Each structure stands twice: as structure tokens, then as C-alpha cells.
A and B are shown apart, each in its own frame.
Chain A
Amino acid sequence: MAAQPLMRIENLVKHFHVRLGAFGERAATVHALDDVNFDIFEGETLSLVGESGCGKSTTGFTLLNLHRATEGKVIYQGKNIVELDEKAMRPYRRQLQIVFQDPYSTLNPRMTIGEAVGEPILFHKLATKAELKDRIATLLADVGLPPRFASRYPHELSGGQRQRVAIARALACQPKFIVCDEAISALDVSVQAQIINLLLDLQQKYGLTYLFIAHDLAVVRHISDRVGVMYLGRLAELATREELFEHPLHPYTKALLSAVPEADPVHERSRKRQILQGDVPSPLSPPSGCRFHTRCPIAMDICGKVVPEWREARPGHMVACHAVTEGLPG
């Protein structure tokens, strides 16, 4: 892992303006992302975890400029890419790719696999028409599909095979960075393991950097270098995989880890789980102060009033919590 960040995210904010009520008579703001700061280093896998609506997918979309950021910066190769218009963004689009959860809805059902994988190659002029067929065959081989699949249609493929095609399509652009937005969540366990192995192989072969968005902590623990935990549009904690799973500091991280079942019946029957009460509040009117304070087992007076500072509690271990005293002077 190089010390130079590939991408630096500074004070990123994304608000969606929505209209509520049967006739859209009430305007409201969804606080999808508020004041998010982190770096992504070259060659690493950084995962973002959290429950639905915590803003992990919005982060992925916003830092690729697929959603227009409300505020903040995403610095990539010295440029703040979130202020670029579509045309200026184009050269960066090639380097910054995304793989979605459901490959069935992202692949055009009327395009063969070969056409789908070939399209970005022609668009970005990465190969001539004469070279195209070989290039497609190489890409399919990279994702573990035989060349004859090029003439098939998405409906002829299984879910795992379609996800391989979606990955081949992202690879076709020769990217540096891929956002995997719940890319393996819809797959069966045995197929999921195949795709995880594939992603790890490709990372090694092409030096890829991943932002891995997922809710399955067992998978995240397996593939990540660093892990960020989000809650209701804010980062709660970010640390290396070992730090986060061995020494979680934020009470939300602790509860989240405690809720994950382990494939061990004896351990499962005897373990004491911390079960969070209630649901995640609405991002339309997030709680004041620390957004977790309404469900936090150790909430104090200050938590409802002051937003906790995003600070380094241990080396490389960022956290936003008033109750954490580690790394504070005195």
C-alpha cells in the first residue's frame, strides 16, 4: 500500500430535495451524506458498511460524480472531480468504474455479452475494431468465462455469470478504481465465494483499488484492508480491518459486530449479544448532535447537543464519539 492517497474525500455532503405528501405539497431534505472525510489509498480495498439508508451507496455514487455533490471535494489526480461537467469528467470516467448489485438490470437484455463488454472499449477507443474480438476474449477469460459466451444474451446466464460479465465490462475500461456497490449481495453463498476470489485475483493482477460497499460483515472482514462504518449519513469509525474488528471503539460498531452471526452453534448459543433497540431514525430529520445518540446504550447529555469530532483516537484509527477518550490530550 502506497502512502499517497489515490483519492481524497473532503467534507463531502449530499442532500436530496424531495417532495412529500400525496400531491408533493411538502418539500423536505434527505440528509444522505454529511461531512464525510477519508482517503482511499492506491491498491487497497476500503469497505464501507452500515445499515440501509446509512449513505454508503450514496458515498460511492457521489465520489464518482454520478450524484452531484451538494458540498465538499473529491480530489483525484490533483483535480476536484465533483465539480467537473460531464464532458470534462469523461477521461476520469474510464479510470473510475462501478459494479452494481443486480447485473440483470444493468446489462442490456438485447445486447450480446460480447457487445456489452466491447461497448466501453470502442467508446474510449481502447482497441481498434480488428483487435476487438481478441480483447473481448481476453476480458472474458480474465473473469473466468469461455470465449463462446460472447455471442450469448444476459438471460442465458446465471446470476454469478452475469456478475462476471458486469465485472468484465468495468475491466474493459482498464480502470484504476472500482466501486463495488453490493456487488456480491444478491448471489448465493457458493457463487459469492467465486466472485470474491475473482475480485481478489483481478486486484492483484491489475493493481486495482476497490471501494467495497456491503452490509455483510463476514465478507467485509475477509476482503478489506480498511473498513469504514457509516450511520445515518456520517462516518462513525474508520480503521484497518484488524483494528476495527479487534478493537472497535464506537458503540455502534460494537453493536453491529455483535449482531453478526457466526457459523458455530456452540458459540452462538452461549454468546451474549448486544441488541440495539429500535430502528434507524429517518434521514429526513436526523437526530441532533451525534446521530446515533437515540439508540446508543452509553449516550450522555452532550451527545444530543454537539456533533462529535471526527478524530484519530489511535494511529490510523478514526472515530466520532464523545464517549471515546483514547487519544485525547490529558
Chain B
Amino acid sequence: MMMANDIRPEPSAKTGERLLDVKGLTIEIETRNGPATIVDGIDLHVDKGETLGIVGESGCGKSLTMLSMMRLLPNKIKVTKGEANFAGRDLQKMSNSELRKVRGGEVGFIFQDPMTSLNPVMRIGQQLAEPLIYHRGMSKAEARKRAGELLKLVGIPGAEDRLDAYPHELSGGMRQRVMIAIGLACNPQLLIADEPTTALDVTIQAQIVDLVKDLRDKLGMSVVWITHDLALIAGLVDRINVLYAGTVVEDAPVDALFANPSHPYTQGLLASIPKLSDERSARLSSIGGTPPEPGRRPKGCPFAPRCPLVEAICHERVPTLEGLNHDGAHRVACFVAQRKLEAA
């Protein structure tokens, strides 16, 4: 057992320089009844060196936004409007071959389920070497050497011997470490982690979270961590975007979000997590109802039908993200929250 010493009392050094800037991205899916909007004009950004947490429940579009932006989804899911600038270039305007250079090169990915993301009939070493040969133009021998170093970096015991192993010979936690090693192979500027610990046990989850934290600080990259678990990312990220029905409803620095959640949906999410201090069997506060289905988005604020603070205006108009304090770091898309602040 080791004690984790990588305590970060201060959020990581941010430059304020935009690495990823998504503006008004709209994503539609082909259905039998015509196209349905799943993500509606989403805005989000990641600064250099920053770790952003994207939180939301199933179907809120959190994975979809990041994956469709990189054109990693089937053809019937399409970006129809908006732009996604990565390091100053619009990903939506890139050709497929240009985008291939970005994927796995400047942008690394870790997915939820390493068993389906790794090729079952290819040795670990080859899978690690592939991006190095493709993006970095390394020779096979160089790539293999680097692959061994990468496995060591992610803490796989007996790294060099494991290069010839197949994915099924590794445990779930080890496979996820291999995924991370592949994601990091080309020293990406941005690592997109899509629920990388959801399938793992809690002690293994803690190992993986600490590993990513450690590597991020060592390599100085930006990270987008997509999850449904607010508690998991509390100690990991600098800033959080809360997604609901394909829109960002709250954007805040991590401490501000937990200390002063302002959107009723964020408040509901936080309140539905059981706390240490709760009495046994105290009723958990829950959010009634379920999120809208894609294509059946209500007019006005998408959260209005479930919102405890709903007012007439919420059914009429869609609120936009507005800064809550003068520096605008804490933003919320809610008429009621915005008005409360004006009154204060």
C-alpha cells in the first residue's frame, strides 16, 4: 500500500489560453421520424493545463459532444452547426486525414470499457506502438522501446514482459492502464477521459484517478474528464460543466460549484448524493421525473418540467449562461438563479 502524496492544494497552473473552444455546437441524430436534436448549441472551453470535468446523467450528451466533435461517431449522428477550435484550428473544417493526425496524436482518448476499445487479437505492445509509428514516424524498434516505457509510466509491473500479452490476459484495472498508456503515447496536449473508471471497482478506481492526476501534473497536459459522478472528480478537476439535455446549465470553478451550486439541477444532483453526516434512513432529496428524450425537448428551459423553482418564463424562453459574479467565472443558465443574484 502506498500513501498518495500528490496533494494539490492549489488548482493546476492555468495560462488562461484556450486550447479547446467549442461554440454553438449542435448535434443531430437521424431517427425514423426525421432528425432529432441531441445537443443544442453547446458552448464549452478548456484552457491550456486545465482539467475540466463534464458531469451529467445518461443521455445528457456529455460523451456525444466530445466524440462527435472528433468525428468518432457513426454517420447518423452529425454536427449540424457550430465550431470546435482546437489549438486555433476548427476541427469541423478539417478533412478526415487532417483530423486523423489530431486524434491519438495531439488529442488522446481513454474510454470506459477497455475490453471493447482494445483489439483482442493484437498484442499490447503492438497496440501501443501503432500511434507512435503513425504519428511520430518511429521505427518498429523505437516504438517498442517507447511502448515499454509507457507501460512502466502507467505502473504496470513487469512492463517489458507484458508487451507480448493479449488484452484478455490482463485484469480490468491493468487493461485500463494500457488504455491510458495508449492515450498518452504521443504526448497529447489534451486527454479526453470518457468515464474511464465506471466499470472498475472502487479500490482500482482510486488507483486510476491518482495515476491520471500524477501523469497530468508530470506531463502538463489538459484533461477533460467525463463522468456522472460528482464526488469522483471533486479532488481532480479545476472546473466543472454540468450538462442537462445537451446544454451546459452551470459552469464553475470546482470549489465554487460545490460550495455554491446555483442551478436547481446541480443543487438536486448534489443533494441526491448520500452524505457522511446523514442520519440513517433520512430521506434523500431526489429530482422527480426523468430527463427529456432527444427530439422531445420541451420549449423553454429543458429542466423546467422537473424544476422545483419553475416559473412562467421558464416554459417560454431558453435561459443562456450568464456570469454570477463580476469576473464571470461562475456562470449559470437559469432565470431564477440569475434574478436572485441581481436582487442580492
Residues of A with C-beta under 8 A to B270: 263
Assess the B272–A189 pair: CB atoms within 8 A: yes
Assess the B290–A160 pair: CB atoms within 8 A: yes
B288 to chain A, nearest CB (A): 7
Assess the A189–B57 pair: CB atoms within 8 A: yes
**0/1 string, A242-270, CB within 8 A of B gives 1:** 00010000000001101111111111111
**0/1 string, B191-212, CB within 8 A of A gives 1:** 0000000000111111101100
A68 within 8 A of B: no
Residues of B within 8 A of A (CB): 1-5, 7-9, 57-58, 157, 171-174, 201-207, 209-210, 228-232, 234-236, 254-255, 258, 268-276, 278, 280-288, 290
Assess the B284–A197 pair: CB atoms within 8 A: yes
A189 to chain B, nearest CB (A): 5
A221 within 8 A of B: yes
A66 to chain B, nearest CB (A): 24
User: CA–CA, A262 to B58, complex, Å?
Assistant: 21
Assess the A279–B204 pair: CB atoms within 8 A: yes
Residues of B with C-beta under 8 A to A264: 234, 258
With most chain B CB atoms within 10 A of its CB, the pick from A160, A221, A256, A279 is: A279
CB-based nearest A residue for B232: A261
B250 to chain A, nearest CB (A): 15
A273 within 8 A of B: yes
User: CA–CA, A223 to B274, complex, Å?
Assistant: 9
Stretch of A90-98, A128-136, A211-219, A312-320 lying at the B interface:
A211-219
Assess the A274–B3 pair: CB atoms within 8 A: yes
- Chain A interface residue number, banded: 35 or more
Which residue of A190, A245, A271, A272 is within 8 Å of B57 (Cβ)? A190
User: CA–CA, A259 to B1, complex, Å?
Assistant: 12
Q: Provided the pairs A191-B290, A268-B234 are in contact, do residues A277 and B254 lie with their beta carbons within 8 angstroms?
A: no
Residues of B with C-beta under 8 A to A295: 1
Can you offer 23 A-B residue contacts whose CB atoms are under 8 A? A51-B202, A51-B204, A158-B290, A189-B228, A189-B230, A189-B273, A217-B202, A222-B284, A224-B280, A261-B231, A262-B276, A263-B275, A264-B258, A265-B258, A267-B235, A268-B236, A269-B8, A275-B2, A275-B3, A275-B4, A275-B206, A276-B203, A276-B207
A191 to chain B, nearest CB (A): 7
A101 within 8 A of B: no
Residues of B with C-beta under 8 A to A221: 274, 276, 278
Assess the B1–A274 pair: CB atoms within 8 A: yes
User: CA–CA, A270 to B210, complex, Å?
Assistant: 13
Residues of B with C-beta under 8 A to A222: 274, 278, 280-282, 284
A26 to chain B, nearest CB (A): 16
Assess the B274–A272 pair: CB atoms within 8 A: no
User: CA–CA, A158 to B278, complex, Å?
Assistant: 28
User: CA–CA, A317 to B207, complex, Å?
Assistant: 29
Which residue of B9, B275, B284 is within 8 Å of A196 (Cβ)? B284
A192 within 8 A of B: yes
Assess the A269–B202 pair: CB atoms within 8 A: no
Assess the B272–A190 pair: CB atoms within 8 A: yes
Residues of A with C-beta under 8 A to B232: 261
Residues of A with C-beta under 8 A to B268: 190
Which residue of A189, A223, A266, A277 is within 8 Å of B280 (Cβ)? A223
User: CA–CA, A223 to B202, complex, Å?
Assistant: 19
Residues of A with C-beta under 8 A to B228: 188-189
A222 to chain B, nearest CB (A): 4
Q: Provided the pairs A188-B57, A261-B234, A262-B234 are in contact, do residues A223 and B206 lie with their beta carbons within 8 angstroms?
A: no
Q: Provided the pairs A189-B228, A256-B203, A279-B174 are in contact, do residues A263 and B234 lie with their beta carbons within 8 angstroms?
A: yes
Assess the A273–B283 pair: CB atoms within 8 A: no
Number of A-B contacts (CB under 8 A): 150
A293 within 8 A of B: no
CB-based nearest A residue for B306: A190
Assess the A279–B57 pair: CB atoms within 8 A: no
User: CA–CA, A52 to B3, complex, Å?
Assistant: 24
Assess the A263–B9 pair: CB atoms within 8 A: no
Assess the B7–A270 pair: CB atoms within 8 A: yes
Residues of A with C-beta under 8 A to B273: 189, 218, 263
A257 to chain B, nearest CB (A): 9
Known A272-B5, A297-B1; further 7 A-B contacts with Cβ < 8 A:
A188-B58, A190-B287, A222-B274, A256-B202, A263-B231, A263-B234, A276-B206
User: CA–CA, A275 to B209, complex, Å?
Assistant: 11
User: CA–CA, A223 to B236, complex, Å?
Assistant: 28
A80 within 8 A of B: no
A241 within 8 A of B: yes
Residues of B with C-beta under 8 A to A223: 280-281
With most chain B CB atoms within 10 A of its CB, the pick from A189, A221, A272 is: A189
B35 to chain A, nearest CB (A): 22
**0/1 string, A49-82, CB within 8 A of B gives 1:** 0011000000000000000000000000000000
A200 within 8 A of B: yes
Which residue of B7, B201, B231 is within 8 Å of A218 (Cβ)? B231
Assess the B202–A273 pair: CB atoms within 8 A: no
Residues of A with C-beta under 8 A to B281: 200, 222-223
Assess the A241–B280 pair: CB atoms within 8 A: yes
User: CA–CA, A261 to B205, complex, Å?
Assistant: 10
CB-based nearest A residue for B3: A272
User: CA–CA, A16 to B195, complex, Å?
Assistant: 33
Q: Provided the pairs A160-B290, A192-B272, A263-B234 are in contact, do residues A273 and B57 lie with their beta carbons within 8 angstroms?
A: no
User: CA–CA, A270 to B229, complex, Å?
Assistant: 19
CB-based nearest B residue for A296: B1
Residues of B with C-beta under 8 A to A217: 202
Residues of B with C-beta under 8 A to A190: 57, 268-269, 272, 286-287
A180 to chain B, nearest CB (A): 15
